[in-house]
Structure 1
Amino acid sequence: MEHLQTRGISLPRLGLGTFRMHGDVCRAAVESALALGYRHIDTAEMYGNEEAIGAAIAEAGIERSDLHVTTKVWHENLAPDAIRRAFDASLKKLRLDHVDLYLVHWPAKDMDLPAIFETLVKLEDEGRTRAIGVANFNVALLNIVVEEIKAPIACNQVEYHVMLDQTPLRRYLAARSIPLVAYCPLAQGRTASDQTLMAIGRKHGASAAQVALKWLLDQEGVAAIPKAARRESQKANLDALNVGLDDEDIKAIAGLPKDRRCVNPGFAPAWD
Protein backbone atom coordinates (compact mmCIF):
# COMPACT_ATOMS: atom_id res chain seq x y z
CA MET A 1 0.00 0.00 0.00
CA GLU A 2 1.37 3.40 -0.96
CA HIS A 3 1.21 6.23 1.58
CA LEU A 4 1.04 10.02 1.28
CA GLN A 5 3.32 11.93 3.64
CA THR A 6 1.64 15.05 4.99
CA ARG A 7 2.25 17.15 8.08
CA GLY A 8 4.10 14.41 9.89
CA ILE A 9 1.61 11.62 9.22
CA SER A 10 1.70 8.74 6.75
CA LEU A 11 -1.70 8.40 5.07
CA PRO A 12 -2.50 5.10 3.31
CA ARG A 13 -3.76 6.03 -0.15
CA LEU A 14 -6.66 3.58 -0.02
CA GLY A 15 -8.91 3.64 3.03
CA LEU A 16 -12.33 2.46 4.14
CA GLY A 17 -15.18 4.95 4.13
CA THR A 18 -17.94 4.21 6.68
CA PHE A 19 -20.74 6.73 6.00
CA ARG A 20 -24.19 5.15 6.50
CA MET A 21 -22.75 2.03 8.11
CA HIS A 22 -23.98 1.41 11.65
CA GLY A 23 -23.93 -1.04 14.52
CA ASP A 24 -22.99 -4.65 13.89
CA VAL A 25 -22.80 -4.12 10.13
CA CYS A 26 -20.23 -1.37 10.59
CA ARG A 27 -18.26 -3.32 13.16
CA ALA A 28 -18.13 -6.40 10.91
CA ALA A 29 -17.12 -4.29 7.91
CA VAL A 30 -14.22 -2.67 9.77
CA GLU A 31 -13.09 -6.03 11.20
CA SER A 32 -13.16 -7.49 7.67
CA ALA A 33 -11.24 -4.56 6.18
CA LEU A 34 -8.56 -4.68 8.86
CA ALA A 35 -8.17 -8.44 8.34
CA LEU A 36 -7.70 -7.85 4.59
CA GLY A 37 -4.95 -5.34 5.24
CA TYR A 38 -6.67 -1.96 5.29
CA ARG A 39 -4.97 0.43 7.69
CA HIS A 40 -6.91 3.65 7.00
CA ILE A 41 -10.37 3.99 8.54
CA ASP A 42 -12.48 7.11 7.97
CA THR A 43 -15.38 8.12 10.20
CA ALA A 44 -17.06 11.23 11.66
CA GLU A 45 -19.16 12.18 14.66
CA MET A 46 -22.13 12.69 12.32
CA TYR A 47 -21.92 9.11 11.04
CA GLY A 48 -23.01 7.74 14.41
CA ASN A 49 -20.70 4.73 14.10
CA GLU A 50 -17.58 5.63 16.09
CA GLU A 51 -18.50 3.17 18.86
CA ALA A 52 -18.79 0.30 16.38
CA ILE A 53 -15.48 1.26 14.80
CA GLY A 54 -13.81 1.52 18.20
CA ALA A 55 -15.01 -1.99 19.05
CA ALA A 56 -13.68 -3.35 15.75
CA ILE A 57 -10.29 -1.70 16.23
CA ALA A 58 -10.03 -3.04 19.78
CA GLU A 59 -10.87 -6.55 18.59
CA ALA A 60 -8.35 -6.45 15.73
CA GLY A 61 -5.35 -6.03 18.02
CA ILE A 62 -3.35 -4.11 15.41
CA GLU A 63 -0.44 -1.98 16.61
CA ARG A 64 -1.76 1.54 17.01
CA SER A 65 1.21 2.95 15.12
CA ASP A 66 0.23 0.85 12.07
CA LEU A 67 -3.32 2.24 11.92
CA HIS A 68 -4.60 5.55 10.57
CA VAL A 69 -7.94 6.80 11.93
CA THR A 70 -9.67 9.97 10.69
CA THR A 71 -12.73 11.50 12.32
CA LYS A 72 -14.49 14.83 11.89
CA VAL A 73 -16.34 17.55 13.77
CA TRP A 74 -19.81 18.45 12.46
CA HIS A 75 -20.45 21.96 11.15
CA GLU A 76 -22.88 22.72 13.99
CA ASN A 77 -20.10 22.19 16.56
CA LEU A 78 -17.46 24.65 15.37
CA ALA A 79 -17.34 26.94 18.40
CA PRO A 80 -14.10 26.23 20.34
CA ASP A 81 -15.82 24.68 23.38
CA ALA A 82 -18.13 22.63 21.14
CA ILE A 83 -15.13 21.33 19.15
CA ARG A 84 -13.52 20.15 22.39
CA ARG A 85 -16.69 18.40 23.55
CA ALA A 86 -17.15 16.73 20.16
CA PHE A 87 -13.52 15.66 20.06
CA ASP A 88 -13.64 14.18 23.57
CA ALA A 89 -16.81 12.26 22.69
CA SER A 90 -15.29 10.91 19.46
CA LEU A 91 -12.12 9.77 21.19
CA LYS A 92 -14.08 8.00 23.93
CA LYS A 93 -16.30 6.19 21.42
CA LEU A 94 -13.31 5.15 19.33
CA ARG A 95 -11.54 3.85 22.47
CA LEU A 96 -8.37 5.66 21.43
CA ASP A 97 -5.99 8.04 23.18
CA HIS A 98 -5.48 9.94 19.93
CA VAL A 99 -6.66 10.08 16.33
CA ASP A 100 -4.36 10.54 13.36
CA LEU A 101 -6.40 13.19 11.58
CA TYR A 102 -9.20 15.45 12.81
CA LEU A 103 -11.16 17.37 10.18
CA VAL A 104 -13.71 20.15 10.00
CA HIS A 105 -16.44 18.09 8.28
CA TRP A 106 -18.18 20.99 6.50
CA PRO A 107 -17.69 24.74 6.59
CA ALA A 108 -20.44 26.78 8.29
CA LYS A 109 -21.64 30.17 7.11
CA ASP A 110 -21.02 31.92 10.43
CA MET A 111 -17.84 30.12 11.45
CA ASP A 112 -14.90 31.87 13.09
CA LEU A 113 -12.04 30.28 11.18
CA PRO A 114 -9.17 31.69 13.31
CA ALA A 115 -10.85 30.44 16.51
CA ILE A 116 -11.58 27.04 14.97
CA PHE A 117 -8.00 26.46 13.89
CA GLU A 118 -6.55 27.81 17.11
CA THR A 119 -8.56 25.10 18.88
CA LEU A 120 -7.56 22.38 16.41
CA VAL A 121 -3.88 23.31 16.63
CA LYS A 122 -4.10 23.06 20.43
CA LEU A 123 -5.52 19.54 20.11
CA GLU A 124 -2.59 18.69 17.87
CA ASP A 125 -0.10 20.29 20.26
CA GLU A 126 -1.58 18.21 23.07
CA GLY A 127 -0.91 15.04 21.07
CA ARG A 128 -4.58 14.13 20.93
CA THR A 129 -4.65 14.33 17.15
CA ARG A 130 -1.52 13.88 15.08
CA ALA A 131 -2.72 16.23 12.34
CA ILE A 132 -5.66 18.45 11.43
CA GLY A 133 -7.45 19.24 8.19
CA VAL A 134 -10.66 20.14 6.41
CA ALA A 135 -13.35 18.55 4.30
CA ASN A 136 -15.62 20.12 1.71
CA PHE A 137 -13.69 23.40 1.55
CA ASN A 138 -13.64 25.27 -1.75
CA VAL A 139 -10.64 27.23 -3.04
CA ALA A 140 -11.83 30.52 -1.54
CA LEU A 141 -12.11 29.00 1.94
CA LEU A 142 -8.83 27.11 1.57
CA ASN A 143 -7.15 30.36 0.69
CA ILE A 144 -8.25 31.90 3.98
CA VAL A 145 -7.16 28.84 5.97
CA VAL A 146 -3.83 28.30 4.22
CA GLU A 147 -2.69 31.79 3.20
CA GLU A 148 -4.23 34.05 5.87
CA ILE A 149 -4.49 31.88 8.99
CA LYS A 150 -1.58 29.67 7.90
CA ALA A 151 -3.21 26.63 9.49
CA PRO A 152 -1.14 23.44 9.07
CA ILE A 153 -3.81 21.40 7.30
CA ALA A 154 -2.87 17.88 6.26
CA CYS A 155 -5.61 17.37 3.64
CA ASN A 156 -8.87 18.50 2.11
CA GLN A 157 -11.41 15.68 1.87
CA VAL A 158 -13.91 16.25 -0.95
CA GLU A 159 -16.11 14.41 -3.40
CA TYR A 160 -13.96 13.38 -6.36
CA HIS A 161 -14.43 10.74 -9.04
CA VAL A 162 -14.28 10.18 -12.81
CA MET A 163 -17.61 11.99 -13.23
CA LEU A 164 -16.74 15.18 -11.33
CA ASP A 165 -14.06 17.64 -12.36
CA GLN A 166 -12.01 19.00 -9.46
CA THR A 167 -9.17 20.52 -11.49
CA PRO A 168 -9.05 24.01 -9.88
CA LEU A 169 -9.14 22.49 -6.39
CA ARG A 170 -6.54 19.84 -7.26
CA ARG A 171 -4.19 22.43 -8.70
CA TYR A 172 -4.52 24.64 -5.62
CA LEU A 173 -3.80 21.73 -3.26
CA ALA A 174 -0.99 20.27 -5.38
CA ALA A 175 0.82 23.62 -5.51
CA ARG A 176 0.90 23.55 -1.71
CA SER A 177 1.62 19.81 -1.31
CA ILE A 178 -1.73 19.25 0.43
CA PRO A 179 -3.31 15.86 -0.35
CA LEU A 180 -6.84 15.51 -1.68
CA VAL A 181 -8.76 12.66 -0.03
CA ALA A 182 -11.56 11.56 -2.36
CA TYR A 183 -14.88 10.49 -0.88
CA CYS A 184 -17.59 8.98 -3.10
CA PRO A 185 -14.72 7.84 -5.36
CA LEU A 186 -17.10 5.48 -7.17
CA ALA A 187 -19.81 8.16 -7.59
CA GLN A 188 -22.13 6.26 -5.23
CA GLY A 189 -22.13 3.22 -7.50
CA ARG A 190 -22.63 5.09 -10.78
CA THR A 191 -19.23 4.03 -12.10
CA ALA A 192 -20.17 0.33 -12.02
CA SER A 193 -22.53 0.60 -14.98
CA ASP A 194 -20.70 3.17 -17.09
CA GLN A 195 -20.11 1.73 -20.56
CA THR A 196 -16.77 3.45 -21.11
CA LEU A 197 -15.39 2.23 -17.79
CA MET A 198 -16.78 -1.27 -18.40
CA ALA A 199 -15.00 -1.43 -21.77
CA ILE A 200 -11.70 -0.34 -20.21
CA GLY A 201 -12.22 -2.91 -17.47
CA ARG A 202 -12.73 -5.73 -19.96
CA LYS A 203 -9.40 -4.86 -21.53
CA HIS A 204 -7.63 -5.26 -18.20
CA GLY A 205 -9.69 -8.04 -16.62
CA ALA A 206 -11.11 -5.57 -14.10
CA SER A 207 -14.48 -4.10 -13.17
CA ALA A 208 -15.62 -0.60 -14.11
CA ALA A 209 -15.41 0.38 -10.44
CA GLN A 210 -11.81 -0.84 -10.22
CA VAL A 211 -10.93 1.26 -13.27
CA ALA A 212 -12.53 4.34 -11.70
CA LEU A 213 -10.69 3.80 -8.43
CA LYS A 214 -7.30 3.23 -10.07
CA TRP A 215 -7.79 6.39 -12.16
CA LEU A 216 -7.97 8.33 -8.88
CA LEU A 217 -5.08 6.54 -7.19
CA ASP A 218 -2.82 7.08 -10.21
CA GLN A 219 -3.01 10.82 -9.55
CA GLU A 220 -0.25 12.35 -7.48
CA GLY A 221 -1.35 13.54 -4.05
CA VAL A 222 -4.75 11.80 -4.14
CA ALA A 223 -6.07 9.22 -1.66
CA ALA A 224 -9.49 7.54 -1.79
CA ILE A 225 -11.89 6.18 0.83
CA PRO A 226 -14.56 4.06 -0.89
CA LYS A 227 -17.32 2.78 1.36
CA ALA A 228 -17.52 -1.00 1.25
CA ALA A 229 -19.45 -3.10 3.76
CA ARG A 230 -18.95 -6.48 2.05
CA ARG A 231 -15.62 -8.31 2.13
CA GLU A 232 -15.85 -8.99 -1.61
CA SER A 233 -16.15 -5.26 -2.34
CA GLN A 234 -13.32 -4.42 0.04
CA LYS A 235 -11.04 -6.94 -1.66
CA ALA A 236 -12.06 -5.72 -5.12
CA ASN A 237 -11.08 -2.19 -4.12
CA LEU A 238 -7.70 -3.42 -2.90
CA ASP A 239 -7.23 -5.36 -6.14
CA ALA A 240 -7.84 -2.14 -8.09
CA LEU A 241 -4.30 -1.18 -7.08
CA ASN A 242 -3.04 -3.79 -9.56
CA VAL A 243 -4.90 -2.39 -12.58
CA GLY A 244 -2.60 -0.70 -15.13
CA LEU A 245 -4.31 2.06 -17.11
CA ASP A 246 -2.70 3.23 -20.36
CA ASP A 247 -2.83 6.55 -22.23
CA GLU A 248 -5.78 5.38 -24.34
CA ASP A 249 -7.74 4.58 -21.16
CA ILE A 250 -6.94 7.97 -19.62
CA LYS A 251 -8.08 9.73 -22.80
CA ALA A 252 -11.38 7.80 -22.79
CA ILE A 253 -11.99 8.65 -19.14
CA ALA A 254 -11.25 12.32 -19.86
CA GLY A 255 -14.18 12.25 -22.29
CA LEU A 256 -16.72 11.29 -19.63
CA PRO A 257 -19.12 13.97 -18.34
CA LYS A 258 -17.50 15.67 -15.35
CA ASP A 259 -20.48 17.46 -13.78
CA ARG A 260 -22.14 14.73 -11.73
CA ARG A 261 -21.92 15.84 -8.11
CA CYS A 262 -23.48 13.29 -5.74
CA VAL A 263 -23.27 15.22 -2.45
CA ASN A 264 -24.57 18.78 -2.35
CA PRO A 265 -26.49 19.56 0.87
CA GLY A 266 -28.14 22.93 1.43
CA PHE A 267 -25.34 24.00 3.77
CA ALA A 268 -22.58 23.27 1.23
CA PRO A 269 -20.31 26.13 0.19
CA ALA A 270 -20.48 27.66 -3.29
CA TRP A 271 -18.45 25.14 -5.30
CA ASP A 272 -15.83 26.67 -7.56
Structure 2
Amino acid sequence: MDLAFPPVGLGTMGLDGDDGARSVETALDVGYRHLDTAQVYENEATVGDGLARSDVDRDDLLVASKTWIDRLAPADVRPSTEASLDRLGLDTLDLLYVHRPKGGYDPEGTLAAFDELVDDGLVRGVGVSNFEVDELDEAIARLDAPLSAHQTEYHPLFQRPALREHAVDHGYTLVAYSPLAGGRVREVAEVCAVAEKHDTTPEAVSIAWLTDKDGAVTVPKASSERHLRANLAAADLTLDPEDHERIDGIDREEELFPE
Protein backbone atom coordinates (compact mmCIF):
# COMPACT_ATOMS: atom_id res chain seq x y z
CA MET A 1 0.00 0.00 0.00
CA ASP A 2 1.47 3.35 -1.04
CA LEU A 3 1.10 5.88 1.76
CA ALA A 4 1.52 9.64 1.33
CA PHE A 5 4.01 10.88 3.93
CA PRO A 6 4.17 14.63 4.53
CA PRO A 7 7.72 15.94 5.07
CA VAL A 8 7.10 16.59 8.78
CA GLY A 9 4.86 14.55 11.07
CA LEU A 10 4.35 14.60 14.82
CA GLY A 11 6.29 12.31 17.11
CA THR A 12 4.20 11.80 20.24
CA MET A 13 6.50 10.00 22.68
CA GLY A 14 6.01 11.69 26.06
CA LEU A 15 2.72 13.37 25.17
CA ASP A 16 0.15 12.18 27.67
CA GLY A 17 -3.06 13.10 29.44
CA ASP A 18 -5.20 16.10 28.64
CA ASP A 19 -2.20 18.30 27.84
CA GLY A 20 -0.98 15.71 25.37
CA ALA A 21 -4.39 15.43 23.73
CA ARG A 22 -4.49 19.21 23.35
CA SER A 23 -1.06 19.13 21.72
CA VAL A 24 -2.29 16.53 19.22
CA GLU A 25 -5.41 18.58 18.53
CA THR A 26 -3.30 21.73 18.05
CA ALA A 27 -0.92 19.89 15.75
CA LEU A 28 -3.83 18.85 13.54
CA ASP A 29 -5.25 22.37 13.61
CA VAL A 30 -1.98 23.91 12.40
CA GLY A 31 -1.53 21.42 9.58
CA TYR A 32 0.03 18.14 10.73
CA ARG A 33 -1.33 15.12 8.89
CA HIS A 34 1.00 12.36 10.13
CA LEU A 35 0.80 11.22 13.76
CA ASP A 36 3.28 8.69 15.12
CA THR A 37 2.74 6.76 18.35
CA ALA A 38 3.58 3.32 19.76
CA GLN A 39 2.22 0.77 22.19
CA VAL A 40 5.23 1.20 24.47
CA TYR A 41 4.65 4.97 24.71
CA GLU A 42 1.43 4.13 26.60
CA ASN A 43 -0.28 7.15 25.03
CA GLU A 44 -2.36 5.74 22.19
CA ALA A 45 -5.50 6.75 24.12
CA THR A 46 -4.12 10.29 24.41
CA VAL A 47 -3.50 10.44 20.66
CA GLY A 48 -6.97 9.03 20.09
CA ASP A 49 -8.46 11.74 22.31
CA GLY A 50 -6.67 14.42 20.29
CA LEU A 51 -7.93 12.86 17.08
CA ALA A 52 -11.49 12.81 18.41
CA ARG A 53 -11.31 16.51 19.27
CA SER A 54 -10.24 17.49 15.76
CA ASP A 55 -12.50 18.00 12.77
CA VAL A 56 -9.76 17.09 10.26
CA ASP A 57 -11.07 14.49 7.82
CA ARG A 58 -9.81 11.01 8.77
CA ASP A 59 -9.05 10.29 5.12
CA ASP A 60 -6.49 13.12 5.17
CA LEU A 61 -4.51 11.61 8.04
CA LEU A 62 -1.73 9.08 8.31
CA VAL A 63 -1.85 7.52 11.78
CA ALA A 64 0.94 5.12 12.73
CA SER A 65 1.67 2.97 15.74
CA LYS A 66 4.25 0.32 16.59
CA THR A 67 3.98 -3.17 18.05
CA TRP A 68 6.28 -3.60 21.02
CA ILE A 69 8.72 -6.50 21.29
CA ASP A 70 6.64 -8.39 23.87
CA ARG A 71 3.68 -8.56 21.44
CA LEU A 72 5.49 -9.70 18.29
CA ALA A 73 4.83 -13.42 18.67
CA PRO A 74 2.46 -14.31 15.80
CA ALA A 75 -0.44 -15.14 18.14
CA ASP A 76 -0.07 -11.79 19.92
CA VAL A 77 0.03 -9.48 16.90
CA ARG A 78 -3.69 -9.33 16.13
CA PRO A 79 -5.00 -8.89 19.69
CA SER A 80 -2.41 -6.22 20.43
CA THR A 81 -3.34 -4.40 17.21
CA GLU A 82 -7.04 -4.56 18.03
CA ALA A 83 -6.23 -3.09 21.46
CA SER A 84 -4.25 -0.28 19.80
CA LEU A 85 -7.13 0.49 17.48
CA ASP A 86 -9.52 0.58 20.42
CA ARG A 87 -7.29 3.00 22.34
CA LEU A 88 -6.90 5.20 19.27
CA GLY A 89 -10.62 5.10 18.48
CA LEU A 90 -9.95 3.92 14.93
CA ASP A 91 -11.16 1.13 12.70
CA THR A 92 -7.95 0.99 10.68
CA LEU A 93 -4.32 1.96 11.24
CA ASP A 94 -2.63 3.54 8.25
CA LEU A 95 0.73 2.14 9.27
CA LEU A 96 1.85 -0.43 11.83
CA TYR A 97 5.53 -0.97 12.57
CA VAL A 98 7.50 -3.80 14.09
CA HIS A 99 9.05 -1.57 16.78
CA ARG A 100 12.33 -3.47 17.08
CA PRO A 101 13.52 -6.84 15.73
CA LYS A 102 13.82 -8.22 19.26
CA GLY A 103 11.85 -10.13 21.87
CA GLY A 104 9.12 -12.17 20.20
CA TYR A 105 10.12 -11.10 16.68
CA ASP A 106 10.25 -14.04 14.29
CA PRO A 107 10.66 -12.80 10.71
CA GLU A 108 8.56 -15.56 9.18
CA GLY A 109 5.76 -15.74 11.73
CA THR A 110 5.59 -12.10 12.82
CA LEU A 111 5.55 -10.70 9.31
CA ALA A 112 2.97 -13.25 8.18
CA ALA A 113 0.75 -12.01 11.03
CA PHE A 114 1.26 -8.42 9.84
CA ASP A 115 0.31 -9.47 6.31
CA GLU A 116 -2.91 -10.92 7.70
CA LEU A 117 -3.72 -7.57 9.30
CA VAL A 118 -3.41 -5.94 5.88
CA ASP A 119 -5.50 -8.65 4.23
CA ASP A 120 -8.24 -8.20 6.83
CA GLY A 121 -8.28 -4.40 6.60
CA LEU A 122 -7.04 -3.62 10.12
CA VAL A 123 -3.85 -2.07 8.76
CA ARG A 124 -3.16 -0.31 5.47
CA GLY A 125 0.63 -0.47 5.45
CA VAL A 126 3.43 -2.40 7.17
CA GLY A 127 6.55 -0.75 8.50
CA VAL A 128 9.60 -1.75 10.50
CA SER A 129 11.65 0.28 12.95
CA ASN A 130 15.26 0.18 14.15
CA PHE A 131 16.29 -2.41 11.56
CA GLU A 132 19.66 -2.81 9.86
CA VAL A 133 20.16 -3.47 6.15
CA ASP A 134 20.26 -7.26 6.43
CA GLU A 135 17.11 -7.24 8.56
CA LEU A 136 15.39 -4.97 6.04
CA ASP A 137 16.29 -7.31 3.20
CA GLU A 138 14.82 -10.27 5.08
CA ALA A 139 11.64 -8.36 5.94
CA ILE A 140 11.10 -7.34 2.32
CA ALA A 141 11.63 -10.94 1.20
CA ARG A 142 9.20 -12.32 3.81
CA LEU A 143 6.37 -9.81 3.43
CA ASP A 144 3.61 -10.21 0.88
CA ALA A 145 2.62 -6.57 1.40
CA PRO A 146 5.15 -4.00 0.21
CA LEU A 147 7.24 -2.45 2.95
CA SER A 148 5.82 1.05 3.43
CA ALA A 149 8.37 2.59 5.79
CA HIS A 150 11.40 2.11 7.98
CA GLN A 151 11.65 4.31 11.04
CA THR A 152 15.09 4.93 12.49
CA GLU A 153 16.94 7.44 14.65
CA TYR A 154 18.53 9.93 12.25
CA HIS A 155 19.99 13.37 12.99
CA PRO A 156 23.24 15.28 12.41
CA LEU A 157 24.95 13.37 15.24
CA PHE A 158 23.68 9.94 14.13
CA GLN A 159 23.61 9.70 10.36
CA ARG A 160 22.36 6.59 8.54
CA PRO A 161 23.09 7.13 4.84
CA ALA A 162 23.17 3.42 4.04
CA LEU A 163 19.66 3.02 5.45
CA ARG A 164 18.37 6.00 3.47
CA GLU A 165 19.95 4.68 0.28
CA HIS A 166 18.33 1.30 0.92
CA ALA A 167 14.95 3.02 1.27
CA VAL A 168 15.39 4.88 -2.01
CA ASP A 169 16.59 1.74 -3.81
CA HIS A 170 13.64 -0.34 -2.56
CA GLY A 171 10.90 2.27 -2.86
CA TYR A 172 9.82 2.74 0.75
CA THR A 173 9.99 5.82 3.00
CA LEU A 174 12.61 6.42 5.66
CA VAL A 175 11.00 8.07 8.70
CA ALA A 176 13.61 9.80 10.84
CA TYR A 177 12.91 10.07 14.54
CA SER A 178 14.70 12.33 17.04
CA PRO A 179 15.79 14.71 14.24
CA LEU A 180 16.83 17.33 16.81
CA ALA A 181 19.09 14.88 18.68
CA GLY A 182 17.22 15.55 21.90
CA GLY A 183 18.02 19.25 21.63
CA ARG A 184 21.74 18.67 21.08
CA VAL A 185 21.69 20.16 17.59
CA ARG A 186 21.91 23.56 19.29
CA GLU A 187 25.40 22.53 20.46
CA VAL A 188 26.69 21.34 17.06
CA ALA A 189 28.95 23.97 15.54
CA GLU A 190 28.31 22.94 11.94
CA VAL A 191 24.54 23.10 12.36
CA CYS A 192 24.72 26.42 14.19
CA ALA A 193 26.88 27.91 11.42
CA VAL A 194 24.33 26.92 8.77
CA ALA A 195 21.53 28.34 10.93
CA GLU A 196 23.36 31.65 11.29
CA LYS A 197 23.92 31.78 7.53
CA HIS A 198 20.17 31.38 6.88
CA ASP A 199 19.05 33.49 9.86
CA THR A 200 17.13 30.59 11.36
CA THR A 201 17.42 28.08 14.19
CA PRO A 202 19.57 24.95 14.46
CA GLU A 203 16.34 22.97 14.87
CA ALA A 204 14.97 24.26 11.56
CA VAL A 205 18.26 23.44 9.84
CA SER A 206 18.27 19.89 11.18
CA ILE A 207 14.71 19.26 9.99
CA ALA A 208 15.37 20.84 6.58
CA TRP A 209 18.59 18.84 6.20
CA LEU A 210 16.57 15.65 6.61
CA THR A 211 13.51 16.54 4.55
CA ASP A 212 15.72 17.73 1.68
CA LYS A 213 17.07 14.20 1.33
CA ASP A 214 15.45 11.84 -1.17
CA GLY A 215 13.19 9.29 0.46
CA ALA A 216 13.25 10.82 3.95
CA VAL A 217 10.63 12.43 6.18
CA THR A 218 10.77 13.15 9.89
CA VAL A 219 8.62 13.08 13.04
CA PRO A 220 9.95 15.58 15.59
CA LYS A 221 8.18 15.74 18.93
CA ALA A 222 6.70 19.06 20.03
CA SER A 223 3.94 20.10 22.40
CA SER A 224 3.60 23.90 22.24
CA GLU A 225 1.93 25.61 19.31
CA ARG A 226 5.06 27.69 18.70
CA HIS A 227 7.30 24.65 18.35
CA LEU A 228 4.70 22.74 16.38
CA ARG A 229 4.47 25.55 13.83
CA ALA A 230 8.25 26.02 13.69
CA ASN A 231 8.92 22.34 13.01
CA LEU A 232 6.27 22.19 10.32
CA ALA A 233 7.61 25.34 8.62
CA ALA A 234 11.20 24.06 8.69
CA ALA A 235 10.51 21.80 5.72
CA ASP A 236 10.15 24.95 3.59
CA LEU A 237 13.74 26.02 4.34
CA THR A 238 16.03 25.41 1.36
CA LEU A 239 19.62 24.57 2.21
CA ASP A 240 22.50 24.97 -0.22
CA PRO A 241 24.58 21.96 -1.35
CA GLU A 242 27.50 23.22 0.75
CA ASP A 243 25.20 23.32 3.79
CA HIS A 244 24.43 19.64 3.27
CA GLU A 245 28.08 18.84 2.80
CA ARG A 246 28.96 20.63 6.01
CA ILE A 247 26.41 18.70 8.06
CA ASP A 248 26.98 15.41 6.24
CA GLY A 249 30.67 15.71 7.16
CA ILE A 250 30.15 15.94 10.93
CA ASP A 251 32.62 13.52 12.49
CA ARG A 252 30.72 12.62 15.66
CA GLU A 253 28.29 9.81 16.47
CA GLU A 254 25.89 10.05 19.39
CA GLU A 255 23.02 7.56 19.33
CA LEU A 256 20.23 8.51 21.72
CA PHE A 257 18.31 5.22 21.70
CA PRO A 258 20.69 2.26 21.35
CA GLU A 259 19.23 -1.20 21.70
Partner in structure 2 of residue 90 of structure 1: 84
The match for 1:161 among 127, 133, 155 is: 155
The match for 2:19 among 21, 25, 39 is: 25
List gaps (5 residues or longer) in structure 2: none
- Please tell me the residue identity of whatever aligns with 2:137: N
After the TM superposition, which segments of 4 or more aligned residues of structure 1 sit over 6 Å from their partners? none
* Residues 108, 142 of structure 2: 8 Å contact kept: no
Partner in structure 2 of residue 205 of structure 1: 199
Partner in structure 1 of residue 101 of structure 2: 107
Whether 1:118 aligns to 2:112 is: yes
What is the root-mean-square deviation in Å for CA atoms of aligned residues?
A: 1.4
Partner in structure 1 of residue 48 of structure 2: 54
Find the aligned partners of 1:218 and 1:76 in 2 and give their Cα distance. 35
What is the Cα deviation at residue 196 of structure 1?
Answer: 2.1
Please state whether the residue corresponding to 2:66 is helix, strand or coil.
Answer: strand
What is the Cα deviation at residue 107 of structure 1?
Answer: 0.9
Which deviations, in whole Å up to 9, do the C-alpha atoms of 1:82-102 show, x marking residues without a partner?
Answer: 111110110001001111001
Find the aligned partners of 2:217 and 2:148 in 1 and give their Cα distance. 12
Provide the TM-score with structure 2 as the length reference: 0.95
- Please tell me the residue identity of whatever aligns with 1:189: G
The match for 2:61 among 38, 57, 67 is: 67
- Please tell me the residue identity of whatever aligns with 2:217: A
Q: Is the alpha carbon distance of 1:159 and 1:205 closer, same or farther for their aligned partners in structure 2, counting shifts above 3 Å?
A: same
Find the aligned partners of 1:125 and 1:150 in 2 and give their Cα distance. 10
Q: Is the alpha carbon distance of 1:137 and 1:151 closer, same or farther for their aligned partners in structure 2, counting shifts above 3 Å?
A: farther
Partner in structure 2 of residue 145 of structure 1: 139
* Residues 44, 72 of structure 1: 8 Å contact kept: yes
How many aligned residue pairs are there? 259
Which deviations, in whole Å up to 9, do the C-alpha atoms of 1:62-89 show, x marking residues without a partner?
Answer: 1110011000110111112211111011
Q: Is the alpha carbon distance of 1:118 and 1:147 closer, same or farther for their aligned partners in structure 2, counting shifts above 3 Å?
A: closer
Whether 1:255 aligns to 2:254 is: no
- Please tell me the residue identity of whatever aligns with 1:132: V
Which deviations, in whole Å up to 9, do the C-alpha atoms of 1:196-215 show, x marking residues without a partner?
Answer: 22221122121011001100
* Residues 69, 104 of structure 2: 8 Å contact kept: no
* Residues 204, 244 of structure 1: 8 Å contact kept: no
- Please tell me the residue identity of whatever aligns with 2:200: A
Give me the identity figure in percent: 36
Find the aligned partners of 1:44 and 1:25 in 2 and give their Cα distance. 18
Find the aligned partners of 2:237 and 2:88 in 1 and give their Cα distance. 34
* Superposed counterparts of 1:3-22, under 5 Å: 7-22=1-16
List gaps (5 residues or longer) in structure 1: 1-6
Find the aligned partners of 1:177 and 1:102 in 2 and give their Cα distance. 17
Q: Is the alpha carbon distance of 1:26 and 1:210 closer, same or farther for their aligned partners in structure 2, counting shifts above 3 Å?
A: same
* Residues 176, 219 of structure 2: 8 Å contact kept: yes
Deviates more, 1:195-204 or 1:17-26: 195-204
Q: Is the alpha carbon distance of 1:168 and 1:110 closer, same or farther for their aligned partners in structure 2, counting shifts above 3 Å?
A: same
What is the Cα deviation at residue 149 of structure 1?
Answer: 5.0
Whether 1:174 aligns to 2:168 is: yes
* Residues 11, 37 of structure 2: 8 Å contact kept: yes
Partner in structure 2 of residue 39 of structure 1: 33
Find the aligned partners of 1:109 and 1:160 in 2 and give their Cα distance. 23
Q: Is the alpha carbon distance of 1:75 and 1:141 closer, same or farther for their aligned partners in structure 2, counting shifts above 3 Å?
A: same
